[in-house]
Amino acid sequence: MTMRHSTIGNESNTSAVLFDMDGVILEGHGTDSIVHSRALDDVLAARKVTVPDHLRPPLERFEYTDEFVAACETIGVEADEFYALREEHSARRSIDRIQSGRRTLYDDVDVLERLASDRDIALVSNNYDPTVSFVVDHFGLEAFSFVRGRDIGVEGFHRRKPEPYYLEQALGALDVDDGVYVGDRETDLVAAERAGLRPVFIRREHNRSLELEHETAVEIQSLDELRDLV
């Protein structure tokens, strides 16, 4: 987790605005699957392990599944350790892709500085914590008071949204119990409600036609609309 500046716990802030990263702040629905495939290659090369083609799909997906565990048993590696190692390489490769310019920020992120002038704002993502911290530093997103991605490894995987774990961690760090969470997926809305936050759903190109099941969510077309909502 990353604490950013001294407004944490400022009693004048009665609520906070929390944001998802992929598809909200950073362009694109999420990390490209090729990242995990290449990360698997990295791990196999380092371990000098050969994997049959039919075992690659469960080993290169980001999910920690029963199929992943079974594949690890077949090739004779410990599943939790192998998964964490592959995720470390996935995080490194995702950072490399962002650094190379393959992903950039949405145009409306300039509203962050204005929102942060009288309240804390935070970034809470299912993406890896090293990747989230890199995005903030690389693009100079200094408005965020708190920055958190998920921990690498099996425990971090199980704490992903829709679990509210990292959102609750953010609220505790900010010392607030009220606010909104802006996301682009149903899981963001569920996590927001579980954490006691008001869900806000932003429409982007990748989710333009998605039909929401959560009727309580406020929909926006641009982050600029948050100035009137909060």
Task: Provide the domain count of the chain.
Answer: 2
With cut-offs at 50, 70 and 90, classify the pLDDT of residue 4: very low
User: CATH code at 179?
Assistant: 3.40.50.1000
On the question of pLDDT at 9 being above 50, the answer is no
Q: Are residues 94 and 180 in the same domain?
A: no
Range of the domain at 82: 33-99
Check residue 2 and give its pLDDT: 55
DSSP E strand stretches across the chain: 2-3, 16-19, 120-128, 146-150, 179-183, 198-202, 218-220
Dist. CA 68–CA 47, nearest whole Å = 17
| Segment among 62-66, 105-109, 166-170, 225-229 with least mean pLDDT | 225-229
Question: What mean pLDDT, rounded, does the chain reach?
Answer: 92
Which residue has 């641009």 as its token pair? 222
Q: Are residues 138 and 50 in the same domain?
A: no
On the question of pLDDT at 5 being above 70, the answer is no
Tell me the mean pLDDT in the region 91-101: 96
On the question of pLDDT at 137 being above 90, the answer is yes
With cut-offs at 50, 70 and 90, classify the pLDDT of residue 126: very high
The domain boundary residue, chosen from 99, 128, 147: 99
Dist. CA 12–CA 117, nearest whole Å = 11
Which residue has 């362009």 as its token pair? 27
Q: Are residues 44 and 153 in the same domain?
A: no
Q: Are residues 210 and 124 in the same domain?
A: yes
The domain boundary residue, chosen from 67, 99, 131: 99
Q: Are residues 44 and 73 in the same domain?
A: yes
On the question of pLDDT at 12 being above 90, the answer is no
Dist. CA 35–CA 15, nearest whole Å = 36
Which residue has 């997906």 as its token pair? 61
Q: Are residues 56 and 121 in the same domain?
A: no
Q: Are residues 223 and 188 in the same domain?
A: yes
CB atoms within 10 A of CB 142: 13
The domain boundary residue, chosen from 51, 78, 99: 99
Q: Are residues 83 and 116 in the same domain?
A: no
Check residue 1 and give its pLDDT: 56
* β-pair partners for 220: 202
Q: Are residues 197 and 115 in the same domain?
A: yes
62-79 tens-digit pLDDT: 999 999 999 999 999 999
On the question of pLDDT at 94 being above 70, the answer is yes
Dist. CA 180–CA 122, nearest whole Å = 10
Q: Are residues 154 and 200 in the same domain?
A: yes
151-208 tens-digit pLDDT: 999 999 999 999 999 999 999 999 998 999 999 999 999 999 999 999 999 999 999 9
Q: Are residues 172 and 203 in the same domain?
A: yes
Query: Strand 2-3 and strand 146-150: pairing?
Result: antiparallel
Among 84, 95, 79, which Cα is nearest to 133's?
Answer: 95
Q: Are residues 78 and 52 in the same domain?
A: yes
